[in-house]
Structure 1
Amino acid sequence: MLAYQTPPAVEAPAPPQAPAAVARHWDLTVGLINATVQLDQPTGAETRTVGTGFLIDAPKPDGTPRIVMVTAGHVLEKMPDPDMRVGWRIAQADGSWKFDPQPLEIRNEAGTPLWTTLEGRDVAVMAVEVPETFARAAIPLAWLADAETFDALDVGPGDELLALGFPRGLSSNRAGFPILRVGRVASYPLTPVSAFPTFLMDFTVFPGNSGGPIFWTPTARRRPGATEPEHPFIAGMLSQEVIVGTERLELGVVVQAQYIREAIALLDRAP
């Protein structure tokens, strides 16, 4: 029987119909690379819990600027200490980058989590103060798919999607940038979202990938005959891998982006 298993701890409206010029010059791949960070918390002298987070530019209802960090709920739940480390990156004058992890409070003095979750969904969001370069890199809320996006853009099984993360806590270089992967949608049907809140993606998942963004850009291939969308979009967030018994099936479980939207909406209703 198929079972989903959480990786072990090492670890709005539809996207806007952007003008063609904006769609061409706004590269979501590079944008999301810049907006994706490693999250970790030491669990021993040489061990740590690792996950992935990404930043969304989600202003408050009154227009006040706000940056929201998105990750998998189980990533934060597996971090018992009040602070985690966020792997910020700093551009240097010579063109190089410096990896600069800094603490971020995730629980208050009473031990109460500072993040917000959506019941029944492995999604966690929290408003965060970030370095200015990361505030500029945060992805606009409108680029998150909603409940109608997959139907409107004819997304289906076999379409390629891209993923960013830190498998086994590894980054693509010493600067701490995430590793880019590609896989194919392995589920059918994908809608309605209310009936199918997650979908499967055919690629190998490792501890540390949890919480990473899953997205489409024109660099990803589509099924023959499918209409290519005019703009990129974030399809969801990687939650976990599929395991049957002790066998890893090289499939990832993706939470649909609509539920990231709903989790962020809960922030707006918080006292």
Structure 2
Amino acid sequence: MNIDTIAKMLFFATVRIENHGANSGSVGTGFIMTATLGNGQQCPMLVTNKHVLADAQRLIAHFIRRKSGQNVPDLGQGMAVDLPPRRTDYIGHPDPAVDIAVMPLASTLEPLRSLAFIQAIPLSLLTTEMPSLFVDAMEEITFVGYPHGYRDPRHLTPIARRGITATPIELDYGGKPVFLIDGSVFGGSSGSPVFLFNQGTYQSGPKETTVGTRIALVGIVAQTMVRNAQLPVVEDVAATPHVKVAQELNLGVAFNARAIKETIEHLVSVAGHSLATGSESS
């Protein structure tokens, strides 16, 4: 598989994360980003949700191997890498209500540079770095991850899904730095990057359409919305007991690009650095 299109690259930007706690385990999604610091150094990092990393005794990130001597993935050949599980090894957004965490990966990725096939997302793809980008109130979005922990069992690639924005990205839903997406969001999708990804044509202004491809990172999936209801155990029996069930509404909650950048800035600041002005990294 030659990675010669943006669509193909998106399948190698994410990481399947296993969280092994004292009494239980879970699976979530993370994605690799890179930013340029003020001193010119590159800062690779894992971006995910706080709850994906919380209470871990062991964190395992699953990568796809790189073919020896080639810049292509060795599909089906996985690589399990232990991540530092301590709370002090990653930085969360300073607002406890913002469910984003960032883990610096320079020391972790350096020995994997020739072994793992990773397509890091540059900070420049965040919509915060694209002041002239036109974003309408309803947009088609693409998110990539591991719903319910699923991935292609043969090739080990993640699952890509599409939906639309259910609330305008530029409006903070409920006063929080989030927007809603109309799409099938399940457990395991937490931490999935959310993109505007258009091929062929896209709307570039209120009355303008552009021919080409558009890609921008607009957010990160954090949770699915459910409604609680009471259903009878046996139908058509008035006196039958009822059970409480949670019904998924096909709506997901995503924190926006501004919240992602704020978390990255917080990580860099705590480390005593700053982002390069107009930071663009490749």
TM interval, shorter chain, is: 0.7 to 0.9
Distance in 2 between residues matched to 1:227 and 1:126, nearest whole Å: 38
**% identity of equivalent residues:** 26
Distance in 1 between residues matched to 2:139 and 2:123, nearest whole Å: 23
Deviates more, 1:218-227 or 1:197-206: 218-227
Q: Is the 8 A contact 2:124 2:130 kept in 1?
A: no
- 1:90 alignment partner, one of 65, 68, 75: 65
Equivalent in the alignment of 1:29? 7
Q: Is the 8 A contact 2:199 2:213 kept in 1?
A: no
Equivalent in the alignment of 2:220? 237
Partner amino acid, structure 2, of 1:236: G
Q: Does the residue aligned with 1:258 lie in a helix, a strand or coil?
A: helix
Structure-1-length-normalised TM-score: 0.77
Distance in 2 between residues matched to 1:144 and 1:115, nearest whole Å: 21
Equivalent in the alignment of 2:277? none
Matches within 5 A, 1:164-179: 164-179=144-159
Structure with higher strand content:
2
Greater C-alpha radius of gyration: 2
Deviates more, 1:176-185 or 1:193-202: 193-202
Equivalent in the alignment of 2:279? none
Distance in 2 between residues matched to 1:206 and 1:242, nearest whole Å: 9
Q: Is the 8 A contact 2:65 2:77 kept in 1?
A: yes
Distance in 2 between residues matched to 1:189 and 1:92, nearest whole Å: 39
- 1:190 alignment partner, one of 170, 178, 182: 170
Partner amino acid, structure 1, of 2:122: P
Q: Is the 8 A contact 2:12 2:117 kept in 1?
A: no
Partner amino acid, structure 1, of 2:267: L
Q: Is the 8 A contact 2:101 2:263 kept in 1?
A: yes
Structure-2-length-normalised TM-score: 0.74
Q: Which has the higher contact order (CA 8 A, sep 6+)?
A: 1
The answer to whether structure 1 residue 219 and structure 2 residue 199 are counterparts is yes
The answer to whether structure 1 residue 141 and structure 2 residue 119 are counterparts is no
Deviation at 1:65, TM superposition (A): 2.0
RMSD of Structure 2 on Structure 1 (CA): 3.0
Q: Which runs of 5+ in 2 are unaligned?
A: 229-245, 272-282
Equivalent in the alignment of 1:10? none
- 2:81 alignment partner, one of 102, 105, 111: 102
Deviation at 1:219, TM superposition (A): 3.2
Distance in 1 between residues matched to 2:175 and 2:129, nearest whole Å: 11
Distance 1:176 1:91, change over 3 A: same
Distance 1:181 1:155, change over 3 A: same
Q: Which runs of 5+ in 1 are unaligned?
A: 1-24
Equivalent in the alignment of 1:19? none
Equivalent in the alignment of 1:248? 248
Distance 1:26 1:191, change over 3 A: farther
Q: Is the 8 A contact 2:28 2:189 kept in 1?
A: yes
Partner amino acid, structure 2, of 1:264: I
- 1:160 alignment partner, one of 130, 140, 155: 140
The answer to whether structure 1 residue 80 and structure 2 residue 68 are counterparts is no
Equivalent in the alignment of 1:4? none
